[in-house]
């Protein structure tokens, strides 16, 4: 790789934004627009679903679509793919669900902790919207440390436990960040310089 290309690549890496803008408000909490869980990695137990596949209702960005389970030992393994949850100040992840407040056993980094939701004062999907905050410090994550997956286990205590949305309050974008217009302009200028250099070299070689 030529020195020029290495310099351009380094400049492009520096210019790609690492933090997405805060764009979504749910239940009084503010999230980056990509801060929600992205994938259902696995599940166990039977779930009642508000409509659409289980993998969709628990990973979309709609707090009004949900799944719940009575099954003993039921769980959902949820993952972040375009962001990670960061252990910042206070709570780092919020679990949302609907109707009567629920509790889950949440497992992150091999450590489990109970999470009890409470009303947010907002509604979604025709129900009261409840939320439970998680501080990654309770799971042995150091300040600034990141996680990309969590397990929600559902108690068999005579009540249903549901989930409708999981988002990271402290979120950091990973990979595939879309460059801002100013970054594109710089990249295109860089590519133009590389192209001009290659053409000059080709011309010199041909001469
Ligand atoms: Ca995400
Ligand atoms: Ca949902
Ligand atoms: Ca924290």
CA of 80 to the centre of ligand 1 (A): 5
Beta bridge partners of 124: 127
Alpha-carbon gap, residue 173 to 195, rounded angstroms: 31
Alpha-carbon gap, residue 160 to 127, rounded angstroms: 15
Alpha-carbon gap, residue 54 to 115, rounded angstroms: 21
CA of 207 to the centre of ligand 1 (A): 53
The neighbour count for residue 119, using CB atoms within 10 Å, is 13
Assigned CATH for 19-173 = 2.60.120
CA of 49 to the centre of ligand 2 (A): 10
CA of 115 to the centre of ligand 3 (A): 15
Q: Can you read off the two tokens belonging to residue 70?
A: 């009575």
Q: Can you read off the two tokens belonging to residue 27?
A: 């239940």
What pLDDT tens digit does each residue of the chain (207 aa) get? 566 656 555 555 554 545 566 689 999 999 999 999 999 999 999 999 998 899 999 999 999 999 999 888 899 999 999 999 999 999 999 999 999 998 899 999 999 999 999 999 999 999 999 999 999 999 999 999 999 999 999 875 656 688 999 999 999 999 765 555 566 666 667 767 667 777 777 666 665
pTM recorded for the entire structure: 0.76
Which ligand has its closest atom nearest to the C-alpha of 141? 3
Which ligand has its closest atom nearest to the C-alpha of 84? 1
């Amino acid at each position: 790789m030529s020195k020029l290309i290495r310099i351009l690549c380094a400049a492009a890496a520096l210019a790609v934004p690492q933090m997405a803008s805060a764009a979504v408000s749910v239940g009084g909490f503010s999230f980056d627009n990509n801060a929600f869980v992205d994938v259902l990695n696995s599940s166990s137990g039977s779930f009642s679903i508000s409509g659409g596949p289980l993998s969709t209702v628990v990973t979309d960005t709609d707090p009004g679509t949900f799944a719940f389970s009575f099954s003993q030992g039921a769980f959902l393994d949820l993952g972040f793919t375009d962001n990670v949850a960061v252990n910042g100040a206070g709570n780092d992840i919020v679990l949302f669900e609907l109707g009567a407040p629920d509790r889950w056993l949440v497992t992150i980094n091999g450590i489990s902790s109970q999470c009890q939701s409470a009303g947010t004062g907002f509604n979604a999907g025709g129900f009261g919207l409840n939320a439970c905050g998680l501080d990654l410090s309770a799971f042995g994550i150091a300040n600034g440390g990141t996680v990309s997956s969590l397990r929600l286990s559902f108690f068999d205590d005579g009540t249903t436990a549901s989930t409708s949305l999981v988002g990271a309050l402290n979120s950091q974008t990973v990979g595939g960040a879309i460059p801002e217009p100013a970054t594109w302009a710089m990249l295109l200028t860089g590519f133009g310089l590389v192209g001009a250099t290659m053409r000059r070299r080709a011309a010199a070689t041909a001469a």
